[in-house]
Amino acid sequence: MMQPTRNKVDLISRTCSARLIVGVMLLPLMGDINSVHYFLWLTSQVINGLLYGWPITLILLVFIGVASSYQFPFKPSRFSVKYLLVFLPLLLSLVLLVWGALMAHHGNGKAPAWPANVVGLLSLLHILAVALVMRLMKGYRWFAASVLLFELWIAFFCNLIAAMSVSNVWM
């Protein structure tokens, strides 16, 4: 019987550890495993929305490609940690989906208004984050604008799905 090499054992243990850590981190935040499944389902609905609006998605991806061919801030000679803030709206979109999964209203009655108000507030934070990132990305604003437009397109669907989840009013 052949023994696995040390590198394979390390890789397997690191992969299993990473899955366990992610699972342990998500479960207290999400409550139970059903909330995690619901979060993943909400995420799949966002992806379906991006695919449904494929012409806009494609145009925005081409815009990112063209802008990054002219101005790409992540080359080692030009890299700055503040350029990673360009991904801040994605974090807010993730928070929107987590909020939609945590505060989902599954009852027959009218949903409380405050979870939907939080969704609206997180949507406004997207606009503020975009303005902040555009200000910080001096010299790379075309690249930032292209990435941020795509992230706002994702945020649109995250906002839509989270709002439907907390209100239990689905289209």
Mean pLDDT for the stretch of residues 107-128 = 91
Same domain membership, residue 59 and residue 119: yes
- Residue 125 predicted with pLDDT over 90: yes
Q: Are residue 161 and residue 138 in the same domain, yes or no?
A: yes
Both 70 and 151 in one domain: the answer is yes
Write the pLDDT tens digit of every residue in 1-35: 445 455 544 444 454 455 545 544 554 555 556 77
Q: Which residue has the higher pLDDT, 84 or 12?
A: 84
Residue 168 has pLDDT above 90, yes or no: no
140 and 65 fall within a common domain: yes
118 & 133 share domain: yes
> Measuring CA to CA, how many Å separate 13 from each of 5, 22, 27, 79?
12, 14, 21, 32
Query: Do 84 and 156 belong together in one domain?
Result: yes
- For residues 171 and 165, give the distance between their C-alpha atoms in angstroms, rounded to a whole number: 11
Looking at the fold, whether 125 and 56 belong to one and the same domain comes out as yes
What letter would DSSP give residue 87? G
| 17 and 51 housed in the same domain | no
| Beta-carbon count within 10 A of 171 CB | 4
d(Cα 77, Cα 151) in Å, to the nearest integer? 26
The values of phi and psi at residue 73, to 5°, are: -80, -5
pLDDT digits (tens, 9 = 90+) for 141-154: 888 899 999 999 99
58 and 39 part of one domain: yes
What's the confidence (pLDDT) of residue 37? Answer: 87
Q: Tell which wins on pLDDT, 108 or 34.
A: 108
Taking the CA atoms of residue 157, residue 163, residue 165 and residue 167 in that order, the dihedral angle to the nearest 10 degrees is -160
Do both 21 and 91 map to the same domain?
no
By CB atoms closer than 10 A (0-12, 13-18, 19+), residue 114 is exposed
Reply yes or no on whether the pLDDT at 51 is more than 60. Answer: yes
44 and 17, same domain (yes or no) = no
| Same domain flag for 20 and 38 | no
User: Within its chain, how far is the Cα of 113 from the centroid?
Assistant: 24
**What domain range includes position 20?**
1-30
How many domains are contained in the chain? 2
Q: What is the pTM of this model?
A: 0.77
